[in-house]
Chains A and B, each alone.
Chain A
Amino acid sequence: MDARLVISPQPLLRRVMTHPRLTATIHGWLLLLPAMALLALFTHWPAVATFIDSFYSTPRPRRPSRFVGLDNYQQILADPVFWQSLWNNLLFALGTIPVSIALALLMAVWVNDRIVGRTAVRMAYFTPTVLPMIAVANIWLFFYTPQYGLLEQITALFGAEPRNWLGSKDTALFAVTLVAIWKEAGFFMIFYLAALQSISPSLAEAAALEGASRWTFFRRVQFPLLMPTTLFVLVNAVINAFRMVDHIVVMTRGGPDNATSLLLFYIYQVGFNFWDTTYAAALTTVLLVLLALVALLQYGWLERRIHYR
Protein backbone atom coordinates (compact mmCIF):
# COMPACT_ATOMS: atom_id res chain seq x y z
CA MET A 1 0.00 0.00 0.00
CA ASP A 2 1.27 3.44 -0.84
CA ALA A 3 2.24 5.11 2.36
CA ARG A 4 1.28 8.52 1.06
CA LEU A 5 -2.33 7.54 0.82
CA VAL A 6 -2.56 6.71 4.47
CA ILE A 7 -3.67 9.87 6.14
CA SER A 8 -3.77 9.46 9.84
CA PRO A 9 -7.17 10.68 11.02
CA GLN A 10 -5.64 12.36 14.03
CA PRO A 11 -4.02 15.45 12.39
CA LEU A 12 -6.93 15.89 10.02
CA LEU A 13 -9.37 15.88 12.87
CA ARG A 14 -7.22 18.28 14.77
CA ARG A 15 -6.93 20.54 11.76
CA VAL A 16 -10.69 20.62 11.35
CA MET A 17 -11.30 21.02 15.05
CA THR A 18 -8.91 23.91 15.44
CA HIS A 19 -10.19 25.81 12.44
CA PRO A 20 -11.02 29.12 14.13
CA ARG A 21 -14.44 29.60 12.58
CA LEU A 22 -15.47 26.04 13.41
CA THR A 23 -14.27 26.17 17.01
CA ALA A 24 -16.11 29.44 17.46
CA THR A 25 -19.25 27.85 16.09
CA ILE A 26 -18.95 24.85 18.38
CA HIS A 27 -18.16 26.95 21.45
CA GLY A 28 -20.84 29.49 20.59
CA TRP A 29 -23.56 26.88 20.22
CA LEU A 30 -22.44 25.05 23.34
CA LEU A 31 -22.79 28.28 25.30
CA LEU A 32 -26.18 28.92 23.75
CA LEU A 33 -27.47 25.40 24.11
CA PRO A 34 -29.15 25.52 27.54
CA ALA A 35 -30.94 28.82 26.87
CA MET A 36 -31.92 27.85 23.32
CA ALA A 37 -33.24 24.46 24.41
CA LEU A 38 -35.52 26.06 27.00
CA LEU A 39 -36.61 28.76 24.58
CA ALA A 40 -37.44 26.14 21.99
CA LEU A 41 -39.37 24.06 24.49
CA PHE A 42 -41.35 26.86 26.14
CA THR A 43 -41.57 29.61 23.52
CA HIS A 44 -40.96 28.46 19.95
CA TRP A 45 -42.57 25.05 20.08
CA PRO A 46 -45.67 26.20 22.01
CA ALA A 47 -46.18 28.98 19.49
CA VAL A 48 -46.05 26.50 16.59
CA ALA A 49 -48.12 23.93 18.49
CA THR A 50 -50.76 26.55 19.25
CA PHE A 51 -51.08 27.22 15.55
CA ILE A 52 -51.30 23.50 14.67
CA ASP A 53 -53.76 22.73 17.47
CA SER A 54 -56.08 25.47 16.32
CA PHE A 55 -57.00 23.27 13.31
CA TYR A 56 -58.10 20.37 15.49
CA SER A 57 -61.12 19.74 17.68
CA THR A 58 -60.79 19.47 21.44
CA PRO A 59 -60.57 15.83 22.54
CA ARG A 60 -63.58 14.76 24.62
CA PRO A 61 -64.05 11.46 26.48
CA ARG A 62 -65.92 9.79 23.63
CA ARG A 63 -64.61 11.82 20.71
CA PRO A 64 -60.88 11.93 20.08
CA SER A 65 -59.35 15.06 18.56
CA ARG A 66 -59.64 15.29 14.80
CA PHE A 67 -58.67 17.71 12.04
CA VAL A 68 -61.43 20.27 11.56
CA GLY A 69 -59.72 22.79 9.30
CA LEU A 70 -60.87 26.34 9.92
CA ASP A 71 -63.83 25.42 12.14
CA ASN A 72 -62.32 27.03 15.23
CA TYR A 73 -61.72 30.25 13.32
CA GLN A 74 -65.25 30.24 12.00
CA GLN A 75 -66.42 29.80 15.56
CA ILE A 76 -64.32 32.81 16.54
CA LEU A 77 -65.90 34.94 13.83
CA ALA A 78 -69.35 34.03 15.12
CA ASP A 79 -68.46 34.34 18.81
CA PRO A 80 -69.95 37.52 20.35
CA VAL A 81 -67.81 37.15 23.48
CA PHE A 82 -64.66 37.16 21.35
CA TRP A 83 -65.70 40.35 19.58
CA GLN A 84 -66.68 41.91 22.88
CA SER A 85 -63.30 40.95 24.41
CA LEU A 86 -61.42 42.31 21.40
CA TRP A 87 -63.38 45.55 21.52
CA ASN A 88 -62.85 45.81 25.29
CA ASN A 89 -59.15 45.18 24.79
CA LEU A 90 -58.92 47.94 22.19
CA LEU A 91 -60.74 50.36 24.49
CA PHE A 92 -58.51 49.25 27.36
CA ALA A 93 -55.42 49.85 25.21
CA LEU A 94 -56.68 53.23 23.99
CA GLY A 95 -57.48 54.19 27.58
CA THR A 96 -54.26 53.07 29.21
CA ILE A 97 -51.57 53.78 26.61
CA PRO A 98 -51.91 57.53 25.90
CA VAL A 99 -52.93 58.48 29.43
CA SER A 100 -50.23 56.52 31.21
CA ILE A 101 -47.55 57.75 28.80
CA ALA A 102 -48.66 61.38 29.12
CA LEU A 103 -48.81 61.09 32.90
CA ALA A 104 -45.41 59.40 32.95
CA LEU A 105 -43.91 62.26 30.95
CA LEU A 106 -45.51 64.85 33.21
CA MET A 107 -44.28 63.04 36.31
CA ALA A 108 -40.78 62.76 34.90
CA VAL A 109 -40.63 66.47 34.04
CA TRP A 110 -41.82 67.39 37.53
CA VAL A 111 -39.49 65.04 39.33
CA ASN A 112 -36.59 66.17 37.14
CA ASP A 113 -37.13 69.78 38.21
CA ARG A 114 -36.01 70.93 41.63
CA ILE A 115 -39.43 70.77 43.21
CA VAL A 116 -39.93 70.64 46.96
CA GLY A 117 -39.46 67.11 48.35
CA ARG A 118 -38.89 65.45 45.04
CA THR A 119 -37.54 62.17 46.47
CA ALA A 120 -40.81 61.58 48.31
CA VAL A 121 -42.85 62.54 45.25
CA ARG A 122 -40.83 60.22 43.02
CA MET A 123 -41.34 57.42 45.52
CA ALA A 124 -45.09 57.98 45.59
CA TYR A 125 -45.25 57.76 41.80
CA PHE A 126 -43.11 54.67 41.59
CA THR A 127 -44.55 52.62 44.48
CA PRO A 128 -47.49 51.07 42.54
CA THR A 129 -44.95 49.52 40.15
CA VAL A 130 -43.31 47.48 42.88
CA LEU A 131 -46.52 46.08 44.32
CA PRO A 132 -48.10 42.89 42.96
CA MET A 133 -50.99 43.68 40.60
CA ILE A 134 -53.07 41.09 42.41
CA ALA A 135 -52.50 42.86 45.73
CA VAL A 136 -53.27 46.34 44.46
CA ALA A 137 -56.32 44.98 42.67
CA ASN A 138 -57.61 43.86 46.05
CA ILE A 139 -57.05 47.34 47.41
CA TRP A 140 -58.84 48.93 44.46
CA LEU A 141 -61.66 46.43 44.80
CA PHE A 142 -62.13 47.74 48.31
CA PHE A 143 -61.77 51.31 47.05
CA TYR A 144 -64.62 50.76 44.56
CA THR A 145 -66.90 48.82 46.92
CA PRO A 146 -70.50 50.02 46.72
CA GLN A 147 -71.83 51.91 49.74
CA TYR A 148 -68.81 52.01 51.99
CA GLY A 149 -65.78 52.05 49.69
CA LEU A 150 -63.65 55.18 49.81
CA LEU A 151 -64.73 56.33 46.38
CA GLU A 152 -68.39 56.13 47.34
CA GLN A 153 -67.70 58.07 50.51
CA ILE A 154 -65.95 60.83 48.57
CA THR A 155 -68.61 61.09 45.88
CA ALA A 156 -71.31 61.02 48.56
CA LEU A 157 -69.72 64.14 50.07
CA PHE A 158 -70.48 65.91 46.82
CA GLY A 159 -73.99 64.56 46.84
CA ALA A 160 -73.48 62.18 43.92
CA GLU A 161 -75.77 59.22 43.35
CA PRO A 162 -74.38 55.99 44.81
CA ARG A 163 -73.19 53.68 42.07
CA ASN A 164 -71.65 50.27 41.75
CA TRP A 165 -68.48 51.09 39.81
CA LEU A 166 -67.45 47.51 39.07
CA GLY A 167 -70.95 46.07 38.94
CA SER A 168 -72.33 48.31 36.24
CA LYS A 169 -71.65 47.68 32.55
CA ASP A 170 -71.16 51.38 31.90
CA THR A 171 -68.37 51.98 34.38
CA ALA A 172 -66.64 48.62 34.95
CA LEU A 173 -64.20 48.82 32.03
CA PHE A 174 -63.36 52.41 32.91
CA ALA A 175 -62.75 51.38 36.51
CA VAL A 176 -60.27 48.61 35.61
CA THR A 177 -58.56 50.87 33.05
CA LEU A 178 -57.93 53.40 35.79
CA VAL A 179 -56.17 50.75 37.89
CA ALA A 180 -53.89 49.88 34.97
CA ILE A 181 -52.99 53.55 34.40
CA TRP A 182 -52.23 53.97 38.08
CA LYS A 183 -50.02 50.89 38.07
CA GLU A 184 -48.08 51.72 34.90
CA ALA A 185 -47.48 55.46 34.85
CA GLY A 186 -44.78 55.39 37.53
CA PHE A 187 -42.97 52.60 35.72
CA PHE A 188 -42.82 54.55 32.47
CA MET A 189 -41.82 57.70 34.36
CA ILE A 190 -38.51 56.04 35.23
CA PHE A 191 -37.51 55.71 31.58
CA TYR A 192 -38.43 59.30 30.79
CA LEU A 193 -36.55 60.46 33.86
CA ALA A 194 -33.43 58.60 32.75
CA ALA A 195 -33.72 60.10 29.27
CA LEU A 196 -34.31 63.64 30.54
CA GLN A 197 -31.22 63.41 32.73
CA SER A 198 -29.11 62.37 29.79
CA ILE A 199 -29.99 65.50 27.77
CA SER A 200 -27.00 67.83 27.76
CA PRO A 201 -27.52 71.01 29.83
CA SER A 202 -25.87 73.08 27.11
CA LEU A 203 -28.99 72.61 25.00
CA ALA A 204 -31.05 74.40 27.63
CA GLU A 205 -28.47 77.18 27.81
CA ALA A 206 -28.44 77.59 24.04
CA ALA A 207 -32.23 77.64 23.88
CA ALA A 208 -32.38 80.21 26.68
CA LEU A 209 -29.90 82.43 24.82
CA GLU A 210 -32.18 82.28 21.80
CA GLY A 211 -34.99 83.41 24.04
CA ALA A 212 -37.11 80.25 23.70
CA SER A 213 -39.91 79.89 26.20
CA ARG A 214 -39.99 76.86 28.45
CA TRP A 215 -42.85 75.38 26.48
CA THR A 216 -40.97 75.89 23.19
CA PHE A 217 -37.89 74.30 24.70
CA PHE A 218 -39.93 71.31 25.77
CA ARG A 219 -41.77 70.98 22.47
CA ARG A 220 -38.84 71.64 20.16
CA VAL A 221 -35.90 70.18 22.09
CA GLN A 222 -36.80 67.88 24.94
CA PHE A 223 -39.77 66.10 23.39
CA PRO A 224 -38.03 65.22 20.10
CA LEU A 225 -34.98 63.98 21.99
CA LEU A 226 -37.27 61.78 24.07
CA MET A 227 -38.72 60.08 20.98
CA PRO A 228 -36.66 56.85 21.26
CA THR A 229 -37.80 56.58 24.89
CA THR A 230 -41.37 57.18 23.81
CA LEU A 231 -41.07 54.36 21.30
CA PHE A 232 -39.65 52.02 23.92
CA VAL A 233 -42.38 52.94 26.40
CA LEU A 234 -45.02 52.63 23.69
CA VAL A 235 -43.91 49.10 22.82
CA ASN A 236 -44.10 48.16 26.49
CA ALA A 237 -47.46 49.82 26.95
CA VAL A 238 -48.98 48.04 23.96
CA ILE A 239 -47.67 44.65 25.08
CA ASN A 240 -48.94 45.29 28.60
CA ALA A 241 -52.37 46.24 27.30
CA PHE A 242 -52.68 42.71 25.91
CA ARG A 243 -50.94 40.98 28.79
CA MET A 244 -52.35 42.58 31.94
CA VAL A 245 -55.26 40.51 33.16
CA ASP A 246 -54.41 39.88 36.83
CA HIS A 247 -56.66 42.70 37.96
CA ILE A 248 -59.53 41.35 35.85
CA VAL A 249 -59.28 37.98 37.58
CA VAL A 250 -59.43 39.65 40.98
CA MET A 251 -61.83 42.50 40.42
CA THR A 252 -64.50 41.45 37.92
CA ARG A 253 -63.76 38.00 36.42
CA GLY A 254 -64.65 39.56 33.10
CA GLY A 255 -68.07 40.66 34.25
CA PRO A 256 -70.59 42.10 34.45
CA ASP A 257 -71.85 40.37 31.34
CA ASN A 258 -68.34 40.28 29.75
CA ALA A 259 -68.05 44.06 30.00
CA THR A 260 -64.44 43.77 31.25
CA SER A 261 -63.35 40.59 29.48
CA LEU A 262 -59.99 41.13 27.76
CA LEU A 263 -58.53 38.80 25.12
CA LEU A 264 -56.04 37.01 27.35
CA PHE A 265 -58.65 36.70 30.06
CA TYR A 266 -61.05 35.14 27.59
CA ILE A 267 -58.31 32.71 26.49
CA TYR A 268 -57.81 31.80 30.14
CA GLN A 269 -61.54 31.26 30.60
CA VAL A 270 -61.93 29.14 27.48
CA GLY A 271 -58.78 27.14 28.19
CA PHE A 272 -59.08 26.59 31.92
CA ASN A 273 -62.72 27.07 32.88
CA PHE A 274 -64.41 25.54 29.82
CA TRP A 275 -61.39 23.32 28.96
CA ASP A 276 -61.91 23.88 25.25
CA THR A 277 -58.17 23.77 24.54
CA THR A 278 -58.14 23.92 20.75
CA TYR A 279 -60.55 26.82 20.66
CA ALA A 280 -58.27 28.53 23.17
CA ALA A 281 -55.37 27.73 20.82
CA ALA A 282 -57.17 29.45 17.96
CA LEU A 283 -57.82 32.47 20.17
CA THR A 284 -54.15 32.50 21.20
CA THR A 285 -53.15 32.45 17.53
CA VAL A 286 -55.29 35.54 16.95
CA LEU A 287 -53.62 37.28 19.89
CA LEU A 288 -50.14 36.32 18.64
CA VAL A 289 -50.96 37.66 15.19
CA LEU A 290 -52.15 40.91 16.76
CA LEU A 291 -48.90 41.21 18.74
CA ALA A 292 -46.86 40.46 15.61
CA LEU A 293 -48.73 43.16 13.69
CA VAL A 294 -47.99 45.62 16.48
CA ALA A 295 -44.31 44.67 16.34
CA LEU A 296 -44.17 45.13 12.57
CA LEU A 297 -45.89 48.47 12.77
CA GLN A 298 -43.65 49.73 15.53
CA TYR A 299 -40.33 48.59 14.17
CA GLY A 300 -41.08 49.13 10.52
CA TRP A 301 -42.96 52.35 10.44
CA LEU A 302 -42.60 54.23 13.71
CA GLU A 303 -38.88 53.71 14.10
CA ARG A 304 -38.16 55.11 10.65
CA ARG A 305 -40.23 58.20 11.34
CA ILE A 306 -38.48 58.81 14.60
CA HIS A 307 -34.95 58.62 13.25
CA TYR A 308 -35.30 60.61 10.08
CA ARG A 309 -37.51 63.45 11.07
Chain B
Amino acid sequence: MDAMTPAPRPDPYAPRGVWRLLESAAAWWLAILWILPLAYAVWAAFHPPEFTTRFSLLAPLTLENFERAWAAAPFARYFLNTFVLVTMILACQLVLGTLAAYAFARYEFFGRDVAFALVLAQLMIMPDVLIVENYRTMGKLGILDSIPAIALPYIASAFGIFLLRQTFKTVPKELDDAARVEGASALQILLKVYVPLAKPIYVAYGLVSVSYHWNNFLWPLIVTNSVEARPLTVGLQVFSSSDQGIDWAVICAATLMTSGPLLVGFLLFQRQFVQSFMRAGIR
Protein backbone atom coordinates (compact mmCIF):
# COMPACT_ATOMS: atom_id res chain seq x y z
CA MET B 1 0.00 0.00 0.00
CA ASP B 2 1.12 3.55 -0.69
CA ALA B 3 2.66 4.89 2.48
CA MET B 4 1.70 8.44 1.62
CA THR B 5 -2.04 7.92 1.75
CA PRO B 6 -3.16 6.80 5.19
CA ALA B 7 -5.81 4.13 5.21
CA PRO B 8 -9.16 5.36 6.53
CA ARG B 9 -8.85 4.83 10.26
CA PRO B 10 -11.59 2.67 11.66
CA ASP B 11 -13.41 4.21 14.60
CA PRO B 12 -13.13 1.69 17.44
CA TYR B 13 -16.32 3.05 18.93
CA ALA B 14 -18.43 2.85 15.79
CA PRO B 15 -21.50 0.75 16.55
CA ARG B 16 -21.46 -2.70 14.98
CA GLY B 17 -24.00 -5.39 14.15
CA VAL B 18 -27.10 -5.33 16.30
CA TRP B 19 -25.99 -2.11 18.01
CA ARG B 20 -25.75 -0.35 14.68
CA LEU B 21 -29.27 -1.47 13.79
CA LEU B 22 -30.64 -0.43 17.18
CA GLU B 23 -28.98 2.96 17.00
CA SER B 24 -30.24 3.45 13.45
CA ALA B 25 -33.74 2.51 14.48
CA ALA B 26 -33.70 5.00 17.36
CA ALA B 27 -32.30 7.75 15.13
CA TRP B 28 -34.93 7.04 12.50
CA TRP B 29 -37.71 7.03 15.06
CA LEU B 30 -36.70 10.50 16.20
CA ALA B 31 -36.28 11.66 12.61
CA ILE B 32 -39.82 10.60 11.75
CA LEU B 33 -41.13 12.31 14.85
CA TRP B 34 -39.23 15.45 13.80
CA ILE B 35 -40.54 15.50 10.27
CA LEU B 36 -44.09 14.55 11.23
CA PRO B 37 -45.58 18.06 11.61
CA LEU B 38 -44.18 19.04 8.23
CA ALA B 39 -45.37 15.84 6.59
CA TYR B 40 -48.79 16.48 8.06
CA ALA B 41 -48.86 19.97 6.52
CA VAL B 42 -47.81 18.56 3.16
CA TRP B 43 -50.61 16.01 3.36
CA ALA B 44 -53.22 18.64 4.17
CA ALA B 45 -51.98 21.05 1.52
CA PHE B 46 -52.03 18.57 -1.35
CA HIS B 47 -55.38 16.92 -0.66
CA PRO B 48 -58.97 18.24 -0.82
CA PRO B 49 -60.24 19.72 2.46
CA GLU B 50 -62.40 16.69 3.25
CA PHE B 51 -59.21 14.62 3.59
CA THR B 52 -57.41 17.15 5.78
CA THR B 53 -57.89 15.05 8.88
CA ARG B 54 -58.78 11.75 7.26
CA PHE B 55 -55.94 9.61 6.04
CA SER B 56 -56.66 7.44 3.09
CA LEU B 57 -54.40 6.06 0.40
CA LEU B 58 -57.14 6.79 -2.11
CA ALA B 59 -57.28 10.52 -1.40
CA PRO B 60 -56.87 12.40 -4.68
CA LEU B 61 -53.99 14.83 -5.05
CA THR B 62 -54.85 18.43 -5.81
CA LEU B 63 -53.26 21.85 -6.17
CA GLU B 64 -56.54 23.62 -5.54
CA ASN B 65 -55.56 24.68 -2.01
CA PHE B 66 -52.55 26.51 -3.38
CA GLU B 67 -54.68 28.21 -6.02
CA ARG B 68 -57.19 29.37 -3.45
CA ALA B 69 -54.50 30.65 -1.10
CA TRP B 70 -52.75 32.47 -3.93
CA ALA B 71 -56.03 34.10 -5.01
CA ALA B 72 -57.09 35.05 -1.48
CA ALA B 73 -54.12 37.27 -0.58
CA PRO B 74 -51.52 39.30 -2.51
CA PHE B 75 -48.81 36.67 -2.06
CA ALA B 76 -47.01 37.74 -5.24
CA ARG B 77 -46.46 41.16 -3.69
CA TYR B 78 -45.37 39.59 -0.38
CA PHE B 79 -42.84 37.44 -2.20
CA LEU B 80 -41.50 40.51 -3.97
CA ASN B 81 -41.27 42.43 -0.67
CA THR B 82 -39.43 39.61 1.08
CA PHE B 83 -37.09 39.23 -1.87
CA VAL B 84 -36.29 42.96 -1.88
CA LEU B 85 -35.91 42.92 1.91
CA VAL B 86 -33.46 40.03 2.18
CA THR B 87 -31.44 41.29 -0.80
CA MET B 88 -31.23 44.80 0.65
CA ILE B 89 -30.21 43.56 4.08
CA LEU B 90 -27.62 41.11 2.80
CA ALA B 91 -26.03 43.55 0.34
CA CYS B 92 -25.69 46.28 2.97
CA GLN B 93 -24.53 43.84 5.65
CA LEU B 94 -21.79 42.51 3.38
CA VAL B 95 -20.47 45.95 2.41
CA LEU B 96 -20.57 47.43 5.91
CA GLY B 97 -19.38 44.24 7.54
CA THR B 98 -16.44 43.86 5.16
CA LEU B 99 -15.23 47.44 5.72
CA ALA B 100 -15.56 47.23 9.49
CA ALA B 101 -14.02 43.76 9.71
CA TYR B 102 -11.04 44.90 7.64
CA ALA B 103 -10.48 47.83 10.00
CA PHE B 104 -10.63 45.54 13.05
CA ALA B 105 -8.44 42.85 11.54
CA ARG B 106 -5.67 44.90 9.95
CA TYR B 107 -5.49 48.38 11.46
CA GLU B 108 -3.84 49.27 14.74
CA PHE B 109 -5.71 52.39 15.67
CA PHE B 110 -6.78 54.53 18.56
CA GLY B 111 -9.99 53.31 20.16
CA ARG B 112 -10.11 49.99 18.33
CA ASP B 113 -10.79 47.80 21.34
CA VAL B 114 -13.53 50.08 22.62
CA ALA B 115 -15.11 50.14 19.18
CA PHE B 116 -14.97 46.35 18.98
CA ALA B 117 -16.60 46.00 22.39
CA LEU B 118 -19.33 48.39 21.24
CA VAL B 119 -19.92 46.20 18.19
CA LEU B 120 -20.07 43.01 20.24
CA ALA B 121 -22.61 44.62 22.57
CA GLN B 122 -25.16 44.04 19.82
CA LEU B 123 -24.90 40.29 20.39
CA MET B 124 -26.63 40.82 23.74
CA ILE B 125 -28.65 43.97 23.04
CA MET B 126 -30.38 42.68 19.94
CA PRO B 127 -32.56 44.78 17.65
CA ASP B 128 -35.32 42.23 18.33
CA VAL B 129 -35.58 43.52 21.89
CA LEU B 130 -35.39 47.25 21.16
CA ILE B 131 -38.69 47.31 19.30
CA VAL B 132 -40.27 50.23 21.17
CA GLU B 133 -37.43 52.71 20.66
CA ASN B 134 -36.66 51.63 17.12
CA TYR B 135 -40.30 52.09 16.20
CA ARG B 136 -40.08 55.64 17.48
CA THR B 137 -36.89 56.29 15.53
CA MET B 138 -38.54 55.05 12.34
CA GLY B 139 -41.46 57.37 13.05
CA LYS B 140 -39.11 60.33 13.43
CA LEU B 141 -37.33 59.39 10.21
CA GLY B 142 -40.75 59.27 8.55
CA ILE B 143 -40.21 55.83 7.07
CA LEU B 144 -42.71 53.73 9.02
CA ASP B 145 -44.42 51.08 6.93
CA SER B 146 -41.61 50.72 4.40
CA ILE B 147 -39.11 48.01 3.55
CA PRO B 148 -36.05 50.10 4.56
CA ALA B 149 -37.62 50.51 8.00
CA ILE B 150 -37.62 46.72 8.41
CA ALA B 151 -34.05 46.47 7.19
CA LEU B 152 -32.27 49.35 8.94
CA PRO B 153 -31.81 47.94 12.47
CA TYR B 154 -30.23 44.77 11.07
CA ILE B 155 -27.82 46.25 8.54
CA ALA B 156 -24.90 46.71 10.92
CA SER B 157 -24.53 43.14 12.15
CA ALA B 158 -22.18 42.37 15.02
CA PHE B 159 -22.28 38.71 14.07
CA GLY B 160 -21.23 39.46 10.48
CA ILE B 161 -18.46 41.84 11.50
CA PHE B 162 -17.12 39.35 14.04
CA LEU B 163 -17.22 36.45 11.59
CA LEU B 164 -15.44 38.37 8.82
CA ARG B 165 -12.87 39.81 11.22
CA GLN B 166 -11.92 36.31 12.37
CA THR B 167 -11.56 35.25 8.76
CA PHE B 168 -9.54 38.28 7.68
CA LYS B 169 -7.16 37.69 10.58
CA THR B 170 -6.21 34.32 9.12
CA VAL B 171 -5.07 35.92 5.85
CA PRO B 172 -1.23 35.90 5.83
CA LYS B 173 0.20 39.39 6.35
CA GLU B 174 2.76 38.68 3.59
CA LEU B 175 0.03 38.71 0.95
CA ASP B 176 -1.05 42.09 2.22
CA ASP B 177 2.51 43.44 2.19
CA ALA B 178 3.23 42.05 -1.26
CA ALA B 179 0.16 43.80 -2.68
CA ARG B 180 1.19 47.04 -0.96
CA VAL B 181 4.67 46.85 -2.51
CA GLU B 182 2.99 46.47 -5.90
CA GLY B 183 1.35 49.81 -5.20
CA ALA B 184 -2.18 48.65 -4.45
CA SER B 185 -4.30 50.91 -2.25
CA ALA B 186 -5.93 49.69 0.93
CA LEU B 187 -9.31 49.28 -0.74
CA GLN B 188 -7.77 47.44 -3.69
CA ILE B 189 -6.02 45.07 -1.31
CA LEU B 190 -9.29 44.45 0.48
CA LEU B 191 -11.12 43.69 -2.75
CA LYS B 192 -8.37 41.72 -4.49
CA VAL B 193 -6.80 39.81 -1.59
CA TYR B 194 -9.13 39.55 1.39
CA VAL B 195 -12.58 39.25 -0.14
CA PRO B 196 -11.70 36.40 -2.56
CA LEU B 197 -10.00 34.44 0.22
CA ALA B 198 -13.05 34.77 2.48
CA LYS B 199 -15.51 33.55 -0.15
CA PRO B 200 -16.72 30.45 1.75
CA ILE B 201 -17.43 32.62 4.78
CA TYR B 202 -19.39 35.04 2.64
CA VAL B 203 -21.51 32.16 1.32
CA ALA B 204 -22.01 30.83 4.83
CA TYR B 205 -22.94 34.19 6.24
CA GLY B 206 -25.21 34.89 3.27
CA LEU B 207 -27.21 31.71 3.79
CA VAL B 208 -27.57 32.35 7.51
CA SER B 209 -28.59 35.96 6.95
CA VAL B 210 -31.09 35.19 4.19
CA SER B 211 -32.80 32.46 6.16
CA TYR B 212 -32.90 34.62 9.30
CA HIS B 213 -34.48 37.59 7.57
CA TRP B 214 -36.78 35.52 5.38
CA ASN B 215 -38.14 34.10 8.62
CA ASN B 216 -38.08 37.22 10.79
CA PHE B 217 -41.52 38.20 12.02
CA LEU B 218 -42.03 40.40 15.10
CA TRP B 219 -40.24 43.56 13.95
CA PRO B 220 -41.77 43.51 10.43
CA LEU B 221 -45.17 42.91 12.03
CA ILE B 222 -44.75 46.01 14.17
CA VAL B 223 -43.29 48.33 11.60
CA THR B 224 -45.40 47.50 8.53
CA ASN B 225 -49.04 48.18 7.96
CA SER B 226 -49.74 47.79 4.26
CA VAL B 227 -49.54 45.25 1.48
CA GLU B 228 -46.79 47.29 -0.19
CA ALA B 229 -44.33 46.79 2.67
CA ARG B 230 -45.35 43.52 4.34
CA PRO B 231 -42.95 40.60 3.99
CA LEU B 232 -44.20 37.04 3.54
CA THR B 233 -44.18 36.10 7.21
CA VAL B 234 -46.43 39.00 8.18
CA GLY B 235 -48.59 38.46 5.11
CA LEU B 236 -49.04 34.82 6.08
CA GLN B 237 -50.05 35.78 9.60
CA VAL B 238 -52.57 38.38 8.38
CA PHE B 239 -53.92 35.84 5.91
CA SER B 240 -54.27 32.93 8.31
CA SER B 241 -55.61 34.91 11.26
CA SER B 242 -58.24 36.97 9.48
CA ASP B 243 -60.45 35.85 6.65
CA GLN B 244 -59.64 32.17 6.46
CA GLY B 245 -61.60 30.98 9.43
CA ILE B 246 -60.22 27.53 9.98
CA ASP B 247 -59.74 26.16 6.50
CA TRP B 248 -56.62 24.22 7.42
CA ALA B 249 -56.02 22.89 3.94
CA VAL B 250 -55.65 26.41 2.55
CA ILE B 251 -53.62 27.62 5.53
CA CYS B 252 -51.25 24.67 5.17
CA ALA B 253 -50.89 25.41 1.48
CA ALA B 254 -50.08 29.06 2.20
CA THR B 255 -47.66 28.02 4.92
CA LEU B 256 -45.77 25.68 2.61
CA MET B 257 -45.82 28.27 -0.14
CA THR B 258 -44.16 30.93 2.02
CA SER B 259 -41.45 28.61 3.25
CA GLY B 260 -41.21 26.90 -0.14
CA PRO B 261 -38.24 28.73 -1.68
CA LEU B 262 -36.13 28.28 1.44
CA LEU B 263 -37.17 24.65 1.79
CA VAL B 264 -36.43 23.83 -1.86
CA GLY B 265 -33.13 25.70 -1.62
CA PHE B 266 -32.30 23.74 1.50
CA LEU B 267 -33.14 20.37 -0.07
CA LEU B 268 -31.09 21.16 -3.19
CA PHE B 269 -28.06 22.59 -1.37
CA GLN B 270 -28.37 20.60 1.83
CA ARG B 271 -24.65 20.04 2.25
CA GLN B 272 -23.79 23.71 1.71
CA PHE B 273 -26.52 24.79 4.11
CA VAL B 274 -25.36 22.52 6.88
CA GLN B 275 -21.70 23.40 6.32
CA SER B 276 -22.54 27.10 6.22
CA PHE B 277 -24.32 26.97 9.54
CA MET B 278 -21.35 25.05 10.93
CA ARG B 279 -18.83 27.56 9.59
CA ALA B 280 -20.83 30.49 10.84
CA GLY B 281 -21.03 28.90 14.25
CA ILE B 282 -17.64 27.56 15.14
CA ARG B 283 -15.74 30.82 15.01
Residue numbers of A with Cβ under 8 A of B are 21, 24-25, 27-29, 31-32, 34-39, 41-47, 49-50, 53, 106-107, 110-111, 113-136, 138-140, 142-143, 145, 148-150, 153, 182, 186-187, 190-191, 193-195, 201, 204-205, 207-208, 214, 217, 232, 239, 242-243, 245-246, 249-250, 264, 267-268, 271-272, 277, 280-281, 284, 287-288, 291-292, 295
Contacts and interface: CB of A to CB of B under 8 A. Distances in A.
B32 to A, nearest CB: 7
Contact of A268 (B36, B137, B152, B222): B222
A291 B124 contact: yes
B272 interface: no
Contact of A35 (B119, B135, B211, B240): B119
Interface residues of B, number: 97
Nearest to A187: B277
A27 B9 contact: no
Interface in B9-63: 9, 11-15, 20-21, 23-24, 26-28, 30-32, 34-38, 40-41, 44, 53
A37 B32 CA distance: 47
Contacts of A190: 274, 277-278, 281
A125 B34 contact: yes
A230 to B, nearest CB: 13
B129 A264 contact: yes
5 contacts: A50-B130, A130-B273, A149-B53, A194-B281, A288-B125
A32 B27 CA distance: 47
Interface stretch (B71-79, B92-100, B176-184, B193-201): B92-100
Contacts of B255: 135, 138-139
Contact of A42 (B20, B156, B263, B266): B156
Contact of B134 (A46, A111, A128, A131): A46
Contacts of B23: 110, 113, 115
B14 A32 contact: no
Given A130-B262, A182-B34, A35 B277 contact: no
A178 B221 CA distance: 24
4 smallest A-B Cβ distances: which pairs?
A208-B12, A46-B133, A28-B109, A31-B103
Nearest to B283: A232
B158 to A, nearest CB: 8
Given A24-B108, A127-B263, 17 more contacts: A34-B96, A38-B152, A45-B137, A110-B27, A119-B270, A121-B27, A124-B34, A131-B215, A135-B233, A143-B37, A190-B281, A207-B12, A239-B124, A242-B129, A243-B128, A250-B241, A267-B129
A80 B109 CA distance: 50
A136 B39 CA distance: 11
B141 to A, nearest CB: 9
B121 interface: yes
B86 interface: no
A187 B278 CA distance: 9
A115 B130 contact: no
Which of B34, B37, B132, B214 has most chain A Cβ within 10 Å?
B132
A121 B155 CA distance: 35
Given A131-B215, A291-B124, A191 B35 contact: no
B126 to A, nearest CB: 7
Nearest to B102: A31
B129 A291 contact: yes
Nearest to A245: B218
A190 B278 CA distance: 6
B233 A208 contact: no
Contact of B131 (A34, A44, A121, A268): A268
B259 interface: yes
Contact of A139 (B37, B95, B274, B281): B37
